[in-house]
Structure 1
Amino acid sequence: MPKTLDAIDLDVELDERLSLGAPWITLVWNDPVNLMSYVSYVFRSYFGFSKAEAERRMLQVHTEGRAVVATGTREEMERHVEAMHGFGLWATLQRVDS
């Protein structure tokens, strides 16, 4: 028996959720080494944040100890973490629980 259009749409939606999985985040952590101006510069140059957004996230790192700087697939977040390490920043990735 052929599937109805509604059943096909549900199958596609379920397949998309299963293949994408839960999103991952890149966290940048506060450290005693890097200047706040440098952290802001990295956020602007690497992630393309505006000056105001880079400053906001840098201050979040400084005052709260960490900030989320990116969300996406695990592979994307692994690349961002590696890039942050290349800039000398402390960074990790974490799976977002649904």
Structure 2
Amino acid sequence: MTLTLEQLDTDEALRAAVELPWRTVVWDDPVNLMTYVSYVFRSYFGLPRAEAERLMLLVHTEGRAIVATGNREAMERHAQAMHGYGLQATVERAEP
């Protein structure tokens, strides 16, 4: 079987897109206390207190924080877990 250059380019682009990391983003909301958000980050992600508080402050002041980066399936699991804790979270593709 002979592949054309167009097929090779398409295959290469698809492979690059699949390999790009994804990230889980937690969004600010008017419901959860900052201490609770910090607690969730410490308990679920196992983050040290200082890092959990840094991310919580990003959520509070910037409106969002990237809490994890990796393959899409893992990031979707993290987002679902955040929903289970009552936090708003989404999954997005990381920029190259």
Global fold match (TM > 0.5): yes
* Per-residue CA distance 1:41-74 (angstroms, 9 max, x = gap): 0000000110000000000000000000000000
Report what 2:27 is aligned to. 29
1:96 shift after superposition:
1.0
- RMSD between aligned alpha carbons? 1.5
Q: Find runs of 4+ consecutive structure 1 residues off by over 3 angstroms.
A: 17-20
Report what 2:5 is aligned to. none
| 1:22-61 superposed matches below 5 A | 22-61=20-59
* Per-residue CA distance 1:26-54 (angstroms, 9 max, x = gap): 00000000000000000000001100000
CA distance in 1, matches of 2:31, 2:48: 24
SS in 1 for 2:29: coil
Q: Which runs of 5 or more structure 2 residues have no equivalent in the other structure?
A: 1-11
- Under a length normalisation based on structure 1, what TM-score does the superposition of the two structures give? 0.80
- Under a length normalisation based on structure 2, what TM-score does the superposition of the two structures give? 0.82
Report what 2:73 is aligned to. 75
Number of aligned positions between the proteins: 83
**Paired-residue identity, %:** 67
Greater C-alpha radius of gyration: 1
